[in-house]
Chain A
């Protein structure tokens, strides 16, 4: 489980994220929504120790992420294209990630083969380097790579963006299966309110770095979110 305490990040006195307290229990599918600049990617980057917190801390399964690297074996992420290695083929990329995560060739092959339908025949055996794939296909590779090695915490930033409708639906099924056994914690962010309400059992709304809503998903959640974001739209009109 992930416990955030007194976390803040500011750039030159300008606070971009401020989370006094946030607990994400193991096995939860957790959604993060908010407008641009709300702090979604900042939070994920802090969780992955890619940037340093100005104050406070994040504890991932009992490990302080900015002090120890022991969270790495059970955490995986796909944030953006900078997580891909352009000069590798998809298979080589999966193998590289797999090896770092202590998987053998057979494990990796079995896992990637099970996503054959997700790939829609456009990834495996294509003899193409990742740099030559389309944005959507690159994203598919990145998402599947984040699932290699049975991670307990999976972080996906904007996983639905750039994907075609069929793949979006398939991705939702994948995420639902992952959290079914309550073993894997999945954190996703999205601008698409419908998709997050479909896959996440809990949704947190960030606004300019602050948590403004923390909702357990129900029938009424989509309406509530829409109401929230249209009210912020009205403020400007």
Chain B
């Protein structure tokens, strides 16, 4: 049976138009994966000598265990954003003679062989081997390795429980931020010392192998909880349940000021406020605005001017990147309608463009208080905003014409958390990194002011050429119209 499931998924993956059109993206993902494998491998090998160097008088294993708490927090945090429970379309399987247990076990089992669970092995195993070479008892190290593997799997299944709970609420990333933040805070201010707790626990398991039963038991419990939750979702009434929301009609008369693109703007605004998936890009605004606070208060970054532009692009452009990269896929479920209606492509694109520009301006205004950390930051943010308006907005619209993946706006079937995973983040990188590199080079070679001026100038050139660029982009969309209609017609 597992063979059949694997076969089904293999076909689903490779027969989807998405795969065929985005090989480059897949190669990029593989590249990133390899990169992390190498990093972890290096970490595993270098861990022992490093720990010996910095803590010459102490036992490296115990020191390492002392840091485990941070590892767990980081792992949990990263997984929440990048790892999604394997999606499987179960509806066609429900009426077939397949035991529900099997489907659930398969999905959970598959999640256990995720890349995220193998990655730590690349660090754990070499570190363990080095420890053995340096005279640790093999039995102790083996037990230690098993403990860490079960911790990894515990995080794996814990993540799905958190994701499942958070998928119900609008601010889906809030629970994980709160959990990780509170745990970190409690530990940081020595209210409850989790570092010690976790460290001691792992230490005592290494010395007393019988205790390994405890992490195993936790693992089994988490697996069981996941199992129960998914099993419950395997009934159709869960997805068929008519949770008819009371429709809110909104008056968007102010969009009339934008003239003939008003109908599209109203449509886009309704899309953003009414569909779960699009709404998340609205919540990201808040996160984006606070992003600077991760860096600016930190003295390490205080003089890293090249970094300001990067943050500026991120802060002012978060909506642009989040919303923009799925143009026109937001409208994929009714793309045929739009294409057969009496509309001009240019107006359609202009509406999206206007929305993105508005978001950049609003975000810039809201980010003005960052001037508290220095006028250079404000200037960098201003330059970044101009760059976003002039360059990035056009780039992302152009990039949209390569979009071939349908977005199911209102589907929330079992097993489907509507995740986007790692891909979404990779697309945004060039938008932030290119201006940062330009700025960093100029800043290094000439001066801060000139570098800022160049970034602004680049943006202004983009704004000046707006009409020309837009007609070029429109032509590009028109040329790929049939391909897009065809791709959006497919469900995978």
Among A48, A87, A126, contact of B340 (Cβ-Cβ < 8 Å):
A48
- Could you say which residues of chain B place their CB within 8 Å of the CB of A99? 262-263
Known: A85-B334, A87-B270. A77 touches B340 (CB 8 A): yes
Stretch at the interface among B13-21, B244-252, B430-438: B244-252
Pick the residue among B262, B336, B342 that contacts A101 (CB under 8 A): B342
Interface of B is mostly: helix
B99-127: contact bitstring with A at CB < 8 Å (1 yes, 0 no)?
00000000000000000000000000000
Q: Mark A85-102, 1 if CB is under 8 A from B, else 0.
A: 111110110001101111
The answer to the question of A84 belonging to the interface, with a C-beta cut-off of 8 Å to chain B, is: yes
Contacts of B342 in A (CB 8 A): 72-73, 100-102, 149
Contact with B along A121-151 (1 / 0, CB 8 A): 0000011110110000000000000000100
CA distance A80 to B489 in the complex (A): 11
Given contacts A50-B485, A51-B482, A52-B482, contact A82 B335 (CB under 8 A): yes
Distance to closest chain B CB from A125 (angstroms): 10
Contact of A100 among B263, B409, B410, B489 (CB under 8 A): B263
Bound-state Cα–Cα, A196 to B41, Å: 70
Interface membership of A79, Cβ < 8 A: yes
Name the residue of chain B whose CB is nearest to the CB of A70: B342
Closest to B244 in A: A132
Q: Which residues of B contact A77 (CB under 8 A)?
A: 340
- A128 and B244 in contact (CB under 8 A), knowing A84-B334, A87-B274, A96-B263? yes
- Kindly state the interface size class of chain B when it binds its partner: 20 to 34
- Cβ contacts under 8 Å, A229 to chain B: none
A100–B246 contact, CB under 8 A? no
**Complexed CA–CA distance, A75 and B339 (Å):** 12
> A49 contacts the other chain (Cβ, under 8 Å)?
yes
User: Given A51-B485, A96-B267, A86 and B336 touching (CB < 8 A)?
Assistant: no
Q: Name the contact of A127 in the complex, choosing from B247, B335, B482 (C-beta under 8 A).
A: B247
Report the bound CA distance from A83 to B337 in whole Å.
Answer: 4
For A132, list chain B residues within 8 Å (CB): 242, 244-245
**Interface check B343, CB cutoff 8 A:** yes
Q: Is the CB of B270 within 8 A of A79?
A: no
Smallest CB–CB gap between A54 and chain B, Å? Answer: 12
Q: Is B271's CB within 8 Å of the partner chain A?
A: yes
By a CB distance below 8 angstroms, the chain B residues around A79 are 336
A50–B481 alpha-carbon span in the complex (Å) = 8
- Complex Cα distance, B266 from A89, in Å, reads 13
Tell me whether B244 and A83 are in contact (CB under 8 A): no
Flag whether B486 is at the interface (Cβ < 8 A).
yes
CB distance from A22 to the nearest CB of B (A): 20
**How many residues on A have C-beta within 8 angstroms of the other chain's C-beta atoms?**
35
Task: Report the Cα distance A97→B266, complex, angstroms.
Answer: 12
A127/B336 in contact, CB under 8 A: no
Which of A73, A85, A97, A101 neighbours the largest number of chain B CB atoms within 10 Å of its CB?
Answer: A85
**Per-residue interface assignment for chain B, residues 320 to 359, with 1 indicating a CB less than 8 Å from any chain A CB and 0 otherwise:** 0000000000000111110111110000000000000000
CB distance from A188 to the nearest CB of B (A): 16
Tell which of A82, A97, A128 touches B247, judged by Cβ atoms closer than 8 Å. A128
Q: Is the CB of B270 within 8 A of A88?
A: yes
Q: How far is the CA of A87 from the CA of B245 in the complex (A)?
A: 11
Q: Give the chain B neighbours of A87 by CB distance below 8 A.
A: 270-271, 274-275, 409-410
Residues of A within 8 A of B337 (CB): 82-85
Do residues A89 and B249 form an inter-chain contact, with CB atoms below 8 A?
Answer: yes
> Which residues of chain B are within 8 angstroms of A127 by Cβ–Cβ distance?
246-247, 249
* Residue in B247, B275, B342 with the greatest tally of chain A CB atoms within 10 Å: B342
Known: A88-B270, A99-B263. A72 touches B340 (CB 8 A): yes
Query: Complex Cα distance A48/B341, Å?
Result: 9
Determine which of B244, B333, B339 lies in contact with A86 in the assembled complex, contact meaning CB atoms within 8 Å: B333
* Complex CA distance for A128 and B270, rounded to whole angstroms: 14
B410 in complex: contacting residue of A86, A91, A149, CB < 8 Å: A86
Contacts A49-B340, A52-B482 given; indicate if A85 touches B410 (C-beta within 8 A).
Answer: no
| Contacting residues, chain A, for B336 (C-beta < 8 A) | 48, 50, 79-80, 82-83
**Alpha-carbon gap, A100 to B262, bound state (A):** 10
Rounded to whole angstroms, the CA-CA distance of A85 and B337 in the bound complex is: 9
B341 / chain A contacts, CB cutoff of 8 Å: 72, 97, 100-101
Complex Cα gap A131–B245 (Å): 10
Given A48-B340, A86-B409, A87-B410, verify A129-B274 contact (CB < 8 Å): yes
Listed A/B pairs (12) with beta-carbon separation below 8 Å:
A48-B336, A48-B339, A51-B482, A86-B334, A88-B267, A100-B343, A102-B342, A127-B247, A128-B245, A129-B247, A129-B274, A132-B242
Given A82-B334, A92-B270, 10 extra CB contacts under 8 A: A52-B482, A72-B341, A85-B333, A86-B409, A88-B270, A89-B249, A99-B263, A100-B342, A128-B247, A132-B245
Q: Which 5 A-B pairs have the closest CB atoms?
A: A87-B274, A83-B337, A72-B342, A131-B410, A48-B340
**Which residues of B pack against A, CB within 8 Å?**
242, 244-247, 249, 262-263, 266-267, 270-271, 274-275, 333-337, 339-343, 409-410, 482, 485-486, 489
